[in-house]
Amino acid sequence: MASPTQERTLIGLCDGQLDEYKFRPTFLTNKVGGRPNWLPVISPPSPRCRRCRAPLVLVVQVYCPLDASPYHRNLHLFACPGAECSSRSDCWTVLRSQCLEAEARTDSGPKQPQEVPLSATDWCDDADEWGEEADGFGAGVEEEEGGLVPEEAAGGGDIEVNIGRQLQQLHLEEAPDTVSILCSLFISVVDESDLGGEDEELRHAQQLLREYEHKEGAMMAELEGGGGGSEEKYEKTRARHGDAVFSRFMKKISLCPQQILRYCRGGCPLFISEPPCNVEQMVSACGTCGASRTFELQLMPALVSLLQTRGGSGGQVEFGTILVYTCRNSCWTAGSKSALEEECLVQCDPDHDLFR
């Protein structure tokens, strides 16, 4: 596995609603919400919340193959929509799945004509274009459900019985869809280095940030002027450092406040609040190969308002930022049918109203 010669940060943006009646997503699709699209060889898991045992909802699906790797590669991020759960790390699940091109072709059945790909930048240098889909992937299930009635059922009564059985089977297979599903949205991508132009909205956002920093600085000066014991001074210093972390976060995203995802495998995460001093120790080693985990991507505050459940039912997924760490080796056993769990850390929004 080759690492990029230069650290690049890619920015994910919402690119409109994904209508699954008009566009059939596959594992190649980068998206928010909807149903997960697994690689053809993967047995679909059903992750549940470790706290309340409720089914998790898909928040983000990312197609992110690595440079010089022969594997297709996906990350699926799931969260519990419970009011008291989504702000906890143990109520999120990150699953990584991979398969070889030959395995994908074998399991995908007859190849169908491809749709015209959408123009987009890759997550990685060797990645396919976002939105480039092949109708053949996952088509087997639909063809089996909607296939012709077998010739043996030529009699009129037998046809009705077979149709009834097929409808009953279809109903049973769709039963899991009663769980909450988030509205599906396309994700497009830009290189952060390409974000340079200023417009009126950006200048306004930067002005608000400067005013916020000035106000916080004045408040800190007033507090420090009031004296106090060593314990009080320690708390003030800690609060000031926390404000500095948040200020850096706001400055970094000011070029593109609407970003919903940042991708930089092997790079440094952008903390929204002061991280624990032992944050590196909090990220455990890979449970499969024992290698350390490295930062890969994070979800951003602007995503929260877009996470709406279909039909308006269910809870609300809320967070400040979600930091995702994956196996440094991206270990995988050829022919494996089970997705591997990675790790994530949740940071709550220190100022909830800022992103409303």
| pLDDT tens-digit profile, the chain (356 residues) | 333 445 789 999 999 999 988 999 999 999 999 999 999 999 999 999 999 999 999 999 999 999 999 999 999 999 999 988 989 999 999 999 999 999 888 665 444 444 444 434 456 655 544 444 444 333 333 333 333 333 344 444 454 545 555 555 544 444 444 578 999 999 999 999 998 655 556 666 667 777 766 776 666 556 555 555 555 554 445 555 558 999 999 999 999 999 999 999 999 999 999 998 888 889 999 999 999 999 999 999 999 999 999 877 656 899 999 999 999 999 999 889 999 999 999 999 886 544 44
For residue 334, is it within any domain? yes
pLDDT of residue 115: 43
pLDDT of residue 113: 43
Could you give the count of Cα atoms lying within 13 Å of 36 in the half-sphere of its Cβ? 28
pLDDT of residue 121: 46
Q: pTM here?
A: 0.71
pLDDT of residue 143: 37
For residue 3, is it within any domain? no
For residue 50, is it within any domain? yes
**Beta-sheet pairing, 31-32 with 185-191:** antiparallel
For residue 31, is it within any domain? yes
For residue 161, is it within any domain? no
Domain range for 282 is 10-101+181-189+242-347
For residue 209, is it within any domain? no
Encode the chain in three state secondary structure.
CCCCCCCCCEEEEEEEECCCCCCCCCCCCCEECCCCCCCCCCCCCCCECCCCCCECEEEEEEECCCCCCCEEEEEEEEECCCCCCCCCHHHEEEEEEEEEHHHHHHHHCCCCCECCCCCCCCCCCCCCCCCCCECCCCHHHHHHHCCCCCHHHCCHHHHHHHHHHHHHHHHHHCHHHHCCCECCEEEEEEEHHHCCCCCHHHHHHHHHHHHHHHHHHHHHHHHHCCCCCHHHHHHHHHHHHHHHHHHHHHHHHCCCCCCCEEECCCCCCCCCCCCCCCHHHHCCCCCCCCCCEEEEEEECHHHHHHCCEHHHCCCCCCCCEEEEEEECCCCCCCCCCCCEEEEEEEECCCCHHHHC
For residue 145, is it within any domain? no
For residue 134, is it within any domain? no
What is the number of structural domains in the chain? Answer: 1
pLDDT of residue 207: 72
